[in-house]
Amino acid sequence: MEPFTTLTSRTVVLAATNIDTDQIIPARFLTTTTRAGLGKHLFADWRYDERGAPRPDFVLNRSESAGCRILVAGRNFGCGSSREHAPWALLDHGFRAVVSTGIADIFRSNSLKNGLLPVIVDEATSGWLLAHPGAELTVDLASGTLSLPGGARVSFPIEAFARHCLLNGVDELGYLLSRSSEIEAYERRA
């Protein structure tokens, strides 16, 4: 995994609340057996019309969204299914952070394991971000802060171990494997 330290990018805004993982990537694209190449199916049913042509009014299809790495969304982003294909698709498209007032548990956990940073902010910050698409933000993971264009900084919560893994680009599997002898001892007792 690529380390995540700081990220500066303009935002793409999807103001809808409760964006579920079926919207992020519909089930018909889950018959894949690899992680790669899911970006083209990201938000497929919002992004393309019935004939598969891009809908010009959908934000990801507009030129100003190109190169944006921060997605700002309405509350309870990523609810529903546990499909890790959702963060894979967001990452493959180029996103590295999602900002919302609430992010669903399984999606948040899946995102952290893949280097997609879930940033949970208060209502006021979220309200401002939703109203200002394209704002340039800086996310600093080490200090757990998000900087807004005027210089204002808000902090966001992040679980200590997940932060450590992201900052260093290491994954949890290595840590779990390093505890094999304890796992073995536990299994002998059980």
Nearest-angstrom CA–CA distance, 58 and 47:
6
The reply to whether 60 sits near another protein by the rule CB under 8 A is no
Q: Draw the binding track, 153-172, toward another protein (x: CB under 8 A; -: no contact).
A: ------xxx--x------xx
Segment interacting with another protein, rule: CB under 8 A, options 55-63, 72-80, 138-146, 147-155: 72-80
**Sole binder of another protein in the list 22, 39, 58, 135 (CB under 8 A):** 22
Q: How far is the CB of 18 from another protein (least distance, A)?
A: 5
DSSP per-residue letters across 79-140? BS---THHHHHHHHHT--EEEES-B-HHHHHHHHTTTPEEEE--HHHHHHHHHSTT-EEEEE
DSSP per-residue letters across 159-172? -HHHHHHHHHT--H
List of residues 6+ apart from 120 with CB closer than 8 A: 99, 100, 101, 102, 103, 156, 157
**Sole binder of another protein in the list 9, 11, 65, 81 (CB under 8 A):** 81
User: Which residue lies nearer to another protein by CB, 21 or 125?
Assistant: 21
Whose CA is closest to 29, among 96, 101, 92?
A: 92
SS3 188: helix
**Sole binder of another protein in the list 34, 56, 57, 123 (CB under 8 A):** 34
Q: How far is the CB of 8 from another protein (least distance, A)?
A: 27
Q: Do the Cβ atoms of 77 and 21 come closer than 8 Å?
A: no
The reply to whether 123 sits near another protein by the rule CB under 8 A is no
Residues near another protein (CB under 8 A) are: 15-18, 20, 22-23, 26-28, 30-35, 45, 50, 74-76, 79-84, 87, 102, 104-106, 109-110, 113-114, 159-161, 164, 171-173, 175-177, 179-180, 182-183, 186-187, 190
